[in-house]
Structure 1
């Protein structure tokens, strides 16, 4: 994918690598991160290449299969459709060679295909490929771990969870009431809930500011719901919260 991947600023991502515990990892890194420009410090992309390539390959194959079945690639008969679908499904890592360019956006990645390479791989006439087949978008979910990001293509980023947001606000009110001298039973009676339920929900008031901001923006892990927090809980340490959430 060297020279094909661009970020939302139009900057190209450059292949790089690093070794950890004797294992070599490949990355795609924004040029502005490599340059360490003063006005861009801490911004940019550092993507794990192996997962990105795997997800891109899956996305392209699925798009091509849908294009064949939907008539975006002209075929003469049903037998040709079956044969073309079989060739598409059989594409391995060479499917990445069909990609002309990749553009990262706000929660989406635009994938443009090279018609000549595509025709060669599928053994078809380039003229049989409809123009709308050559460019498509897919949503992605992003998970940051330090400076490293992982993209899961085909999965939309989490929407804001209004129930979780409301429960955090309620827990903050209950925490304030405790600080002002109310006991658990008094609060539970006033709210019409049990003391047990109150005890399960109060930890919502001790989430880190970083996590609360992510929840308000809809950037939390998709598994992080009110029910998950009630069942599993999170430690009071904000650093420990970050460590656990990075594994979700």
Structure 2
């Protein structure tokens, strides 16, 4: 929700549409206040949401958010009646995204959010692959990590994912259904193109040509 409100305020400020009648004299100060609000929202100030959101309604595929006029006016340092009605009303689509057992509601144009489990798995895989290249036995790595050798074998292969897949994981733009469990299940294909075809829901969308 915070992201959707931040995007809405940012767009309205960019169009000079926060006020019913744009005030040229207050334009620069208003833009600065709006920018501060956007930064705070994207920074995760949950208390701020409680102050500026009056109500929210969830439809079949859209969410409607009504902002509190007086609270928003106070933050932007303008008279409440000067705020346009469009500024106070937000309607945006949402999607249900599932990653493993986790379910998230994605509102509006959600910025990429890397999967921490995948990131940790990828980082460990590269560390273990480097250890093996240094000549450290897999049994020693397994003993150090307090896991089985089979556990190391199934996960070290992540170090050999295609560069596009690895970059997507780092950016948080991998297909929604791509989980660590899915990647380590079975033998990973050696061919990068085959990997991308197997693990991408839509290869052209998820892994565009570079």
Place the TM-score, normalised by the shorter chain, in its bin.
Answer: 0.3 to 0.5
Q: Which has the higher helix share?
A: 2
Q: Which has the higher strand share?
A: 1
Structure 1 length as normaliser, TM-score?
A: 0.39
Bigger relative CO (Cα 8 Å, ≥ 6 apart): 2
